[in-house]
Amino acid sequence: MAPTNYSVYSIPIYFIMNFIPHTYSTLIFADGSAKNWDNANPKSTAVREQFQKRVSAAAYLRWERARAAHNNGIENFPLLIAAVILGNMAKLDAGMMNWTFGTFLVFRAIFTMAYIEISDRRWSFFRTLVFNISILQCLWIILKAGNVYAG
């Protein structure tokens, strides 16, 4: 009996995963108080400047890394969607799809934690390695699907 294909579930899981660093950055910004968060204009340069003045340099850099982790996740969302759709349209093996997208999600979680936690430039290359491993999962599925389409 063939395994059930759960690969489509990686799309909403990944979408939700990307809100973890967003929520975390908002909590850093608000510093536990809703009055510190301007939801009407959250990307205002003036609001960012006020925030930078009231927190330590380390807290500000951590906030920036959490925002960057969230943005990176959103930027890579289309690649995941394309890989899932193309892999399923090509009827790639369900077990392989499950393993590949499960691996993608694990490496994206590691990447996100590394992005937020690593402030040392020397260790930042670990984050880059993890990022590349995660992206290669999607590219591999796209190439496998392309081989099916090419005949």
Rg of the chain taking only CA atoms, in angstroms: 19
Mind listing the pLDDT tens digit for each residue in 57-100? 998 999 999 999 999 999 999 999 999 999 999 999 999 999 99
Q: What is the four-CA torsion angle of 34, 55, 123, 105, rounded to 10 degrees?
A: 10
**Does the structure show a pLDDT above 80 at 2?**
no
Q: Give the burial string for 73-93 (b: 16+ CB within 10 Å, else e).
A: beebeebbbebbbbbbebebe
Mean pLDDT for the chain overall: 92
pLDDT at position 125, please? 96
Query: What pLDDT shows up at residue 33?
Result: 62
pLDDT for the residue 35: 64
CB proximity list for 67: less than 8 A, separation 6 or greater: 21, 22, 25
pLDDT confidence band for 34 (50 / 70 / 90): low
* Mean local confidence (pLDDT), 35-44: 70
Which helix (H) or strand (E) segment holds residue 128: the answer is helix 121-150
pLDDT at 36: 65
- Taking 80 as the threshold, does the pLDDT of residue 44 lie above it? no
Give the span between the Cα atoms of 60 and 47, in whole angstroms: 13
142 pLDDT above the threshold of 80: yes
pLDDT of residue 9: 98
> Alpha carbon 4 to chain centroid distance?
25
Which two three-digit tokens encode residue 36?
């510190």
